[in-house]
Chains A and B, each alone.
Chain A
Amino acid sequence: MTAPIETTGVAREAHPEAIAESAGVRIEGRSLGQIAWARFRRDKVAMAGGVVIIFMILVAIFAPVITSFVGGDPAEYHDDLLDPVLNIPNGSFGGASWDHPLGLEPVNGRDIFSRIVYGARISMLVAFLATLLSVVIGVVLGTVAGYFGGWVDALISRAMDVFLAFPLLLFAIAIGSSLQGEAFGMKGDTLRVTVLIFVIGFFSWPYIARIVRGQTLSLREREFVEAARSLGATDRHIIFKELLPNLVGPILVYSTLLIPTNILFEAALSYLGVGVQEPTASWGGMLARATSRYEDAPMFMVVPGVTIFITVLAFNLLGDGLRDALDPRSR
């Protein structure tokens, strides 16, 4: 590809020495992290995604504080604000007011804003912990498969194929419904959230493992690994000190891209009724309740839907931006 001559950014990075020499300045070395951060900072779209994510995380953490100012208790019924015949909120935009900025649910009149704020807790908790779980499993199995090769690799790769080909959603539903009531010494929402985290995490590790395995395969043949081996380094040393530091970039990128998938997975499971149970709020659960009311209470479906969309989009944009920043070839 013929690159046009640019005076900023790209050209300077491409030939730092040449430019520095001509300018007569001594250049300082920059680490991969610094280069990536400099590139990332210029990516306005990815930065916007990052800001939205930080906002969402803060909302999830401070949910009780926020709702004490606006919205109130997410489980409180405001039947008095509903039309007694139609059971839909009085006023326009689903009964939006200063007290209830995003309106009220039809039938029982719970505050939608509060439920969205509390729903963020479930969504973020499940998505982050499930991603963490799949990254741990994926990195371990991916490096083992890529580094040791042979029958270990064959076995793990087959397992990945099988996992990826399966109707995950249905299997997740099945597990969710086979673990009902009380199990593993937990019950209620604690059990549901734990089941969600483990089911989602357990089913999405192959996405990470596949990337890590591929990277390990190519890194394994590189000179620095050979050098380490010829100096008598153990497998353990090579994996932890030589390979893993080089895998941090891709792992970071693909875990960021896995989080939105897992948010959608959690929303889908809650939508189908295997997530947390009423009255605990979840975005998927809200959409499930809105499904039968799209005609007379459109705000009820628009608010959780748009919230999911914005959050997932933000993570996708951040992930794409991180990939571009850490791996310039991918552009």
Chain B
Amino acid sequence: MIFYLLRRLAGAVVLLLIVTMAVFAIFFLIPRLGGATSDQLAARYVGKSPSPEAISQVKHSLGLDKSVPEQYGKFVKGMIAGKDYDTGVRKVHCAPPCLGFSFRNNLEVWPRLQDRIPVTLSLAAGAAVIWLIAGVSIGVISALKRGSLWDRFSMGFALAGVSLPPFFTGLVALALFSYQWPIFKGVHYVPFFDNPGSWAWNLVLPWLTLAFLYAALYARLTRAGMLETMSEDYIRTARAKGLRERDVIVKHGLRAALTPILTIFGMDVGLLLGGAILTEQVYSLDGIGKFAVEAITQQDLPEVLGVTMIAAIFVILANLVVDLLYAVVDPRVRT
């Protein structure tokens, strides 16, 4: 078990390194390949209408005048050890973890992101719970009642679910349940510790919107997995032992069918985050997704960079959690 955990942890660290390289490449290598000079590149990291001195100063502090490995070194070191920025008016120290400094707002990126993380976390975690529970139970029932009206209906529903973009279902949900029949009026984020009831009530529509996208897909996967496991020999053995049908299905069938679902879920955490970005945008929830979109509209590259890093770290952590859950469900991996 310990060995398994250590291996997973090491894998996560390697992945984190790859992420920093990918982010570095996206923001500093690809634009350069596209023909941007280091002056133009530096100009994106200073305020509007920058002075030549400010540009050359940023160019130096980002190491844009150095070789690529040195630039990357500076990039990583800045995040871990912190960094000093000169806005022209005052000098700012960006304390670690330093995810950059936005020259448009004259603010550090990380503290502003901190307020946003609970929003995205609430949205994504709640939706994931609904999506897994709904998807798995619809799939199990479909598999047990194969060919029935329920089965056909839910599989048709699943196909519709994967064909609808969340930014459309969200809008329809808003138009119907917030405007036409104001059950969920004025959806906005309420911190959990302020008022748990209001927190949940406001998140019902966003949760359902996000969960609908993939609950459908998971229903299809669970159905296929359940059909396969229920025809295994050990299920017959379990029945022959005289176990109650419920125990056969839940303890023997479902448990085995659930493991591959969990693996796929681990891979879909990235998709979940993508869906969360879109859902936040529809419902105007101030999460990291909306932060990213606002940063794009204002062409605030340091903010986009910071949010990309945070999102990647979030996905890596979520994958680690899924790996741990995996060890709980499937005893074979605990070696």
Q: Which residues of B contact A32 (CB under 8 A)?
A: none
Given contacts A167-B273, A290-B171, contact A180 B299 (CB under 8 A): yes
Determine if B312 is an interface residue (Cβ-Cβ < 8 Å): yes
Task: State in angstroms the CA–CA spacing of A185 and B316 once bound together.
Answer: 36
For the complex, give the distance between the alpha carbons of A279 and B237 in Å. 66
Contact call B31/A178, Cβ cutoff below 8 A: yes
Task: From B15, B163, B282, B297, give the contact of A260 (CB < 8 A).
Answer: B163
Is the CB–CB distance between A294 and B27 below 8 Å?
no
Residues in B whose Cβ lies below 8 Å from that of A267: 165, 167
Which A residues touch B316, using CB under 8 A?
165
Q: A171's contact among B164, B297, B301, B308, by CB below 8 Å, is which?
A: B308
1/0 contact string of A183-209 vs chain B (CB within 8 Å): 111000000000000000000000000
Which of A170, A267, A298 has the most B CB atoms < 10 Å from its CB? A170
Interface residues on B, range: 35 or more
In the complex, are the beta carbons of A268 and B159 less than 8 A apart?
Answer: no
Interchain CB contact under 8 A, A316 and B292? no
Given contacts A171-B26, A272-B281, contact A184 B34 (CB under 8 A): yes
Contact with A along B239-269 (1 / 0, CB 8 A): 0000000000000000000000000001101
A300 to chain B, nearest CB (A): 10
* Minimum CB–CB distance for A35 against chain B, Å: 24
Let me know if A271 is at the binding interface, CB within 8 A.
yes
Residues of A within 8 A of B168 (CB): 287, 301, 304-305, 308-309
Q: How large is the interface on A (under 10, 10 to 19, 20 to 34, 35 or more residues)?
A: 35 or more
Chain B, Cβ-Cβ closest to A183: B34
**CA A175 to CA B30, docked complex, whole Å:** 8
B82 close to chain A: CB less than 8 A: no
Q: Are A174 and B315 in contact (CB under 8 A)?
A: no
A98 at the interface (CB under 8 A from B): no
* Given A170-B274, A171-B308: A287 in contact with B160 (beta carbons within 8 A): no
Which secondary structure dominates where chain A touches chain B? helix
B57 vs chain A, min Cβ distance (A): 21
Which residues between 294 and 314 of chain B lie within 8 Å of chain A, taking CB atoms?
Answer: 295-297, 299, 301, 304-305, 307-308, 311-312, 314
* B23 CB–A CB distance under 8 Å: yes
| Interface hits, A269-298 → B, CB 8 Å | 271-274, 284, 287-288, 290-291, 294-295, 298
Q: Is B27 within 8 A of A272, CB to CB?
A: no
B159 contacts across to A, CB distance below 8 A: 313, 316-317, 320
What residues of chain A lie closer than 8 Å to B278, measured between beta carbons? Answer: 169, 268, 271-272
Complex: A270 Cα to B301 Cα, angstroms: 19
Q: Is B165 a contact partner of A165 (Cβ separation < 8 A)?
A: no
Task: Give min CB distance, B152 to chain A, whole Å.
Answer: 12
Once the chains are docked, how many angstroms separate the CA of A321 from the CA of B106?
55
**Complex interface: chain B residues within 8 A of A173 (CB):** 277, 292-293, 296, 304, 308
Q: Are B312 and A179 in contact (CB under 8 A)?
A: no
| Neighbouring A residues of B165 by C-beta, 8 Å | 264, 267-268, 271, 284, 287, 305, 308
For B304, list chain A residues within 8 Å (CB).
Answer: 173-174, 177-178
Residues of chain A with a CB closer than 8 A to B277's CB:
169-170, 173, 272
Residue of A nearest to B303 (CB): A177
Asked if B30 and A178 make an inter-chain contact with CB atoms under 8 angstroms apart, the answer reads yes
Given A178-B30, A179-B34, A183-B36, 20 further pairs, Cβ under 8 A: A161-B267, A167-B315, A168-B274, A170-B274, A170-B277, A170-B308, A173-B293, A173-B308, A174-B304, A175-B30, A178-B31, A267-B167, A268-B167, A284-B167, A291-B171, A291-B281, A301-B171, A305-B164, A308-B165, A317-B159
- For the complex of A and B, list the 4 residue pairs with the smallest distance between their C-beta atoms, beginning with the closest: A183-B34, A169-B274, A305-B168, A313-B163
